[in-house]
Structure 1
Amino acid sequence: MSRSSLFTPVELGALRLSNRIVMAPLTRARADVNHVPTAMMAEYYAQRADCGLIISEATAVDPQGMGWYRAPGIWNEDMVTGWRVVTDAVHQSGGQILAQLWHMGRLVLPDYLDGRLPMGPSPIAGEGETFAPRPAGDDSLFLPMKPYVVPREMTQDDIDKVVSAYGRAAANALSAGFDGVEIHGANGYIIDQFLQSKTNHRTDNYGGPLGNRLRLLSEIVAAVTEVIEPGRVGLRISPTSERKGMGDEDPGTLAQAIGELCSTFGLAYVHLIEPIASGFMEKPANPVMERLRASYDGAVIQNGSFDGDTAAAFIDGKQADAISFGRPYIANPDLVRRFADELPLATPNFDYAYVGDETGYTDYPTWR
């Protein structure tokens, strides 16, 4: 089948993309130990700048929401300076890049918080385990793993501080030269924790009915769009995902309500994680894409187990305006060319996905 639709321009709000191939956020843990972006990261993103749009790896808005060894943040001037090197490299290579703004909520280990408990909407632990910081003197390849803990329930003051942190992070993203931001409302992190009924058991204005569970998202979007024009702001969601102990009583209605909220604010796009085949995440039994597109009048980026052919088919069928690719971008810096010329894709070495330096990061070759 023809893949030509992948290579046509598209507008996502105020963003003009030269093609419909989007680099999805990929946590790669190559910032320094203080969460400051590095020159190595600039090289990595510049290698991939021929796609229509790069969305940065998840970037913490506040120390309380950072729970990943050597993932980047954007809450201080050193981080802004580090990110400026990255955005300059992408722009010099002809690309566009958004900062994905992130707070992990209940999924932060106390190890990252000087022993304090993380915070979440309700005192319910995430399911599974996550990377802990590397112990002093440990130079092994792999990081230790620890289970998630029961968080403390957030107070109104906690909520207000998180909303403010997103607003400051948006301002810092502009100072760092980003072309806009994506709000991370997916994958079981703090916004998702408030949205989904399984993880939000609050009895105040932020819990219970769906309208209340949407309140944190609405306040964060308002704070971000006070700083950045809405046409340069996107939102990533995963209403059908049950990873890390997530789950909602009615994902379709949740997706529809999120679409209505995004239309009200005039956001550039909604980035929907809804796999078309099971892999890193399970394919949902009841997809919500149609409910989202019916309620939202902006562009939709779809994500989840796509290849060049299925991506083009979704665009041709008006099921998406663009498609984002995550894991294929790890080992294929020239993914756009490989899709265009129908070349084989290289296979990533996942031993180096979240640890290391140049190996398994910037050393994947282009097609010869």
Structure 2
Amino acid sequence: MKKLFQPYNKGTLQLKNHVVMAPMTRSRAIDNIPNALMAAYYKQRSGAGLIVTEGTSPSPEGLGYPRIPGVFSDAQIEGWKLVTEAVHEGSAKIFVQLMHTGRVAHSSNLPEGYQVVGMSDSQAAGEIYTETGMFEYSAPKALDAEGIQRIINDHVRAAENAIAAGFDGVELHGAHGYLLEQSLNPHANTRTDNYGGSIENRSRLILEIAQKASQIIGADKVGVRLSPYLTTNGMLAYEESEVHDTYVYLSQELNRLGIAYLHISNNPGITQNTHNAIRKVFTNTIIYCNGFTPETAEAMLHDGPADLVAFGRSFLANPDFMRRIEKNEPLNEPDYSTLYTPGELGYTDYPELN
């Protein structure tokens, strides 16, 4: 039997197979509250051993996109319970991805009384979707020392809320240009205090959140997503050796904390040296994601640094993705025009095999 379909057992990751459903924003959380439609969507896809939810804000100021969920209110906790119960009925595990968008946001997407924030006041280049069209990213207000502590506390409280909602753990989104990756990048983080400057200082925000969340919910219920060398959402490249050193240091320190996994957003910019170095210093589970086919995923599990492989787009249009690849059946193609629209269309209505 192919390794993709074999159970995976390490720490709290007692999974029925080696397949992860990757986090994908779908913008179906009306008023930022998870709902029954979302529960149906995730249950359809519970053939995966592990599901990582769409990016979910730990606080109102992190809601940079329209209709993304949060996990900071009682109503959101109750809404997520519908999702976690549905996924567990399908014998899958589910982690919520905690995503504070930081400067990757527009002020019109935030609740009244909140503003876009960043590690510094540098504005990201590019545009973002709003309910009234595309606009340039808003200029962020630089977080002061009190704001940094608020960010940390919000993430820790969100981790507590996630466990109360029935999640098996949380994934800290330290990738794709959002706030936690903004802290790592010297172009987005020009601070001169303990959270800026050196690699150790720029890594401090992620490490403090991971440490404090681990103390509250257990390190074995914490994962971190990283995207070394990737330049998306306004991120600017910096010196290759410094990128390498940053992510090796961060992986080493996260390993010391004993967290459950690293989730690597794979991209052509990652050197083999960096792949090897991260694998050497991080001894728990490593998940790889981005652009895999069942065949390349199988090869990665056998010959590469991955313990698990995540699929994103394949799960968009194929709620029965696991059955399709097991039976070697063709996959549905996603309708990209409905990725972020409200309602069932292009969300829960994709055909399944008889």
Give the TM-score range, shorter chain. Answer: over 0.9
Q: Which runs of 4+ in 1 moved over 4 A?
A: none
2:261 equivalent to 1:264? no
Residue 121 of structure 2 aligns with which residue?
123
Residue 320 of structure 2 aligns with which residue?
334
**Distance in 2 (alpha carbons) for counterparts of 1:358 and 1:4:** 33
Residue 274 of structure 1 aligns with which residue?
266
Distance apart, 1:198 and its partner CA: 2.0
Distance apart, 1:223 and its partner CA: 2.0
Q: 1:222 aligns with which of 211, 229, 234?
A: 211
TM-score (norm 1): 0.92
Q: 2:341 aligns with which of 318, 335, 355?
A: 355
**Distance in 2 (alpha carbons) for counterparts of 1:37 and 1:79:** 6
Q: 1:50 aligns with which of 47, 50, 55?
A: 47
- List aligned pairs for 1:184-203, cutoff 5 A: 184-203=173-192
- Is the Cα contact below 8 Å between 1:181 and 1:233 reproduced in 2? yes
**Secondary structure in structure 2 of the residue aligned to 1:361:** coil
User: What residue identity is the alignment partner of 2:269?
Assistant: P
**Distance in 2 (alpha carbons) for counterparts of 1:222 and 1:358:** 39
Residue 38 of structure 2 aligns with which residue?
41
Q: 1:255 aligns with which of 242, 247, 251?
A: 247
Post-superposition CA distance 1:20-41 (Å, at most 9, x none): 1100001001111x20001000
**Distance in 2 (alpha carbons) for counterparts of 1:45 and 1:321:** 23
Alignment RMSD (CA, Å): 1.4
Identity across matched positions, percent: 38
Number of equivalences: 349
Residue 63 of structure 1 aligns with which residue?
60
TM-score (norm 2): 0.95
- List aligned pairs for 1:231-310, cutoff 5 A: 231-246=220-235, 247-249=237-239, 250-275=242-267, 283-284=268-269, 286-287=271-272, 288-310=274-296
Pair 167,285 (structure 1): closer, same or farther in 2 beyond 3 Å: closer
- Is the Cα contact below 8 Å between 1:240 and 1:274 reproduced in 2? no
Residue 105 of structure 2 aligns with which residue?
108
User: What residue identity is the alignment partner of 1:94?
Assistant: S
Distance apart, 1:319 and its partner CA: 1.8
**Distance in 1 (alpha carbons) for counterparts of 2:219 and 2:64:** 28
- Is the Cα contact below 8 Å between 2:106 and 2:138 reproduced in 1? yes
Distance apart, 1:9 and its partner CA: 1.6
Residue 141 of structure 1 aligns with which residue?
none
Residue 280 of structure 1 aligns with which residue?
none
**Distance in 2 (alpha carbons) for counterparts of 1:165 and 1:116:** 14
- Is the Cα contact below 8 Å between 1:12 and 1:269 reproduced in 2? no
**Distance in 1 (alpha carbons) for counterparts of 2:115 and 2:70:** 20
Structure 1 spans left out of the alignment, 5+ residues: 136-143, 276-282
- Is the Cα contact below 8 Å between 1:74 and 1:172 reproduced in 2? yes
Q: 2:76 aligns with which of 76, 79, 101?
A: 79
**Distance in 2 (alpha carbons) for counterparts of 1:116 and 1:26:** 25
- Is the Cα contact below 8 Å between 1:331 and 1:347 reproduced in 2? yes
**Distance in 2 (alpha carbons) for counterparts of 1:174 and 1:331:** 29
- Is the Cα contact below 8 Å between 2:228 and 2:270 reproduced in 1? no
Residue 24 of structure 2 aligns with which residue?
26
